[in-house]
Amino acid sequence: MSNPDAERTFIAVKPDGVQRGLISNILSRFEQRGFKLVGIKLVTPTENLLKQHYAEHVEKSFFPKMLSYMMSGPILATVWEGKDVVKQGRAILGATNPLNSAPGTIRGDLAIDMGRNVVHGSDSVESAEREINLWFKKEELIDWKLNQLAWIYE
């Protein structure tokens, strides 16, 4: 990573966000905040990938429905880099339940139902690393210099 204070996070636009044409709106919120996009691809996830991604939920009663939903269409997988990006990314997304999300957040502005909450974001630095490695090969992540860094960070 070109910025020593930077960390990376995994943000996915779920099938409902892709189908509703919200990709550019979601990407622009991260770009406007000053985070750097280092990985992006449109994918149709496999059941195996989703079971690994949501390993902590596989045995829960809601998992089959969530699995079906997550396999219902393409997902935009992204990796963002910046200072405190995991925590800040979660703040940009809003609460998991859109009805508890503040206006101005992605879920607060663009979603109503928890089962169609538009986006996923890593909840910790450790989760981010695991999720990034699940969804991206190392060579798919681009380490590049954002020329605006001096205008974003002191």
120 noted as active-site residue? yes
Pick from 10, 6, 4: nearest CA to 140:
10
* pLDDT of 26 strictly over 80: yes
Question: What's the burial of 42, exposed, middle or buried (CB within 10 Å: 0-12/13-18/19+)?
Answer: exposed
What pLDDT score does 154 carry?
86
Three-state secondary structure call for residue 112: coil
| Binding residue ranges | 14, 62, 90, 96, 107, 117
State the pLDDT confidence band at 151, using cuts at 50, 70 and 90.
very high
**Hey, which residues does 9 pair with through a beta bridge?**
80
Task: Report which residue type is found at 130.
Answer: R
Domain regions of the chain by residue span: 8-151
pTM > 0.85? yes
Binding residues for ATP: 14, 62, 90, 96, 107, 117
Q: From the candidates 8, 36, 53, 120, which is the catalytic residue? A: 120
Read off the DSSP letter of residue 102: P
What does the pLDDT read at residue 1?
Answer: 59
- The class (CATH top level) of 8-151 is alpha beta
